[in-house]
Amino acid sequence: MTSRRILSHVAVAALSMAGAVGATVLLMKPQSRTAAPAPGAPSPHASPEARGDGGPAGVYISPARQQLIGVRTAAVTTRTLDAAIRATGTVTFDETRVAEVHTRVAGWVDRTDVDFVGKPVTRGAPRFSVYSPDLVSAQR
């Protein structure tokens, strides 16, 4: 992946986490001691669809609460991020695609056609040659 795509994924993850934290704060905040809504009436914090005003489904946060928790909105734009993100990791092989080759004769590997670990190979292409004294004597 390119660094720009990674940075956009990191930005989306950060915004998602910020939204989750804000929703958690709203849900855990004790309710005020004002008059309770009538039985069967939807919560004032319910989504617009649940309240019946035909808006899209989702979490609804009143403008007053948005002000309290510091929600900010901005238009979506494409731009480069100023901060560099450095991460460590380990690159490994897909072990489900690794195969072992067993020879049916005693001997040793004489020559290898695969020079380094991770070199792409195709089905049927030679990987190595085996020298076997038993096979040599059988051929004579």
pLDDT, tens digit, 9 for 90 and up, residues 122-139: 888 888 899 999 889 998
R_g of the chain, CA atoms, integer Å: 32
| Residue 20 tokens, joined | 């989750």
Check residue 96 and report its DSSP letter. Answer: G
| Residue 92 tokens, joined | 């490994």
Please state the pTM of the whole predicted model: 0.31
Low-confidence ranges of the chain (pLDDT < 70): 1-57
Phi, psi (degrees; rounded to nearest 5) at 26? -65, -40
- DSSP strand E in 33-131: where? 108-112, 128-131
Q: Would you state the pLDDT for residue 4?
A: 66
Q: Would you state the pLDDT for residue 85?
A: 83
Residues, the chain? 140
Q: Would you state the pLDDT for residue 132?
A: 92
Q: Would you state the pLDDT for residue 61?
A: 83
Q: Would you state the pLDDT for residue 7?
A: 63
Q: Would you state the pLDDT for residue 131?
A: 92
Q: Would you state the pLDDT for residue 84?
A: 83
At 98 the three-state DSSP class reads coil
